[in-house]
Copies of this chain bind each other. A is one copy, B any other.
Amino acid sequence: MGQGKQILALNRFDADQANGLRAEVASLVKRRQATFGASSVLFYSEPIKMVRADGVWMYDSEGRRFLDVYNNVPSVGHCHPHVARAIAEQVGTLNIHTRYLYDNIHTYAERLLATFPERLSNVVFTCTGSESNDLALRVAKIATGGEGFIVTETAYHGNTSAVMDVSPSSYKSRVVPRHVRTVPAPLSPVSGEDVGQVFAASVKAAIADLESNGVKFAGFLVDSIFSSDGIYADPAGFLKAAVDVVHAAGGMFISDEVQPGFGRTGAMWGFERHGVEPDIVTMGKPMGNGFPMGGMVTRPDLLEPFCEGTGYFNTFGGNPVAAAAGLAVLDVIEGEGLIRNADEVGTYFRTGLRELSNRFPVIGDVRGAGLFTGLEFNDEETREPDTAMATFVINGMKERGVLIGAAGFYGNTLKIRPPLCFSRENADLFFDVLTDVLGEARN
């Protein structure tokens, strides 16, 4: 998820431009177009037919092995055996909704909530990050009596009707709804201004603009690693000023942890790096390592008025299989020290990329936290965003067995977010392949 029109175009399969596809791929593409129709979106000019995956590796139908540095859903490693076993065992034992009691959902709820600040003590389970954000918007509206939301200008928060309204990267027509205001991503300011102050000033102006148009402010919803905006992590703490502005205006701060959550940034939750306490936290993607599950965590004083006014029940949310998957994911994060690994290997990775930028000036900013890194390409002369180079690198690395994607308003930022078991050796392979591709680009 998290890709708007600019970005998807980068490495999107285009049937009209497809020539010479292998027979097996061509046949599958044809079957896909017949069934998925206009909704079919595939990566790469020659799509990859995958057959299996484990750890950081994916394998295609020709037996080619790919290092996965793109997919953040199989976060503790593709097809992790501990998670797979937990799902397999539970799906043969009991799989039912939460209107009966069973043990593992309560154990899971307690272990999950123990990773949050004390006041965030209630959880509602859903099936997706989209459902979690859809619910969070309603909780914020009930809590504030407002309806206005502020998001970043290339944000993506999910696919329901209500969440699409607050996902500018999905506005194909770029019409911002009346109840939404966008603020620029927290870019590193050119002239040495304070990122946090600049960002907070934008939020303050957006609140004022909502209110002056008769829309009461309800909340500020951000992905705490700003994935779709191009990954903005530093300096840690920069979010605090904006959150203070939100709270001073009586709004809710919703931290969308669908992408940064579960250890990705070298902390359990992305908001931790900023020293802030959200009113509502949403999660999804890595929560079950690919099992469809999501959740919303909030304070009892916010959940109560919502539940009084609105019935909410999610059939599959919090079922015993989801609980088993979620518990197994927490086991692996803890047992394999993945948060520490994300921090350490992430730092090693960005250090190596910055060294590479000395040899290849087309590499601009290298930024991120833990195993979520943004790698910008800028024209060597003009320093303008070099989207073509990002596209070239994505395809060149794929040809050499490394999977990657792009993000950001201009699509010139590589979005690097491998499974959290990514090692220094994997990073070294990435450096070698990137060096090779950038060398080819020079020739």
Contacts and interface: CB of A to CB of B under 8 A. Distances in A.
Interface of A: 1, 3-5, 8, 25, 28-29, 31-32, 34-39, 41-43, 47-53, 58, 71, 73-74, 78-79, 81, 83-84, 87-88, 91-103, 106, 109-110, 113, 121-124, 127-131, 134-135, 137-138, 159-162, 164, 170, 172-173, 284-285, 289-293, 300, 303-304, 306-316, 319, 321-322
Contacts of A173: 309
A177 B311 CA distance: 16
Nearest to A310: B172
Copies of the polypeptide in the assembly: 2
Contact of A101 (B29, B113, B321): B29
Q: Point out which of A1, A38, A84 has the most chain B C-beta atoms below 10 A from its C-beta.
A: A38
Contacts of A1: 313, 315
A49 B102 contact: yes
Majority SS of interface residues in chain A?
mixed
Nearest to A43: B99
17 contacts: A28-B103, A32-B101, A32-B106, A35-B106, A35-B121, A39-B303, A42-B101, A47-B101, A71-B97, A73-B316, A78-B96, A79-B92, A88-B91, A131-B131, A159-B312, A164-B310, A285-B315
Contacts of A319: 290, 292
Contacts of A130: 131, 314
B314 A101 contact: no
Given A4-B311, A47-B100, A50-B100, 9 more contacts: A29-B101, A31-B110, A38-B303, A49-B100, A78-B95, A96-B290, A130-B131, A131-B159, A160-B160
Nearest to A68: B96
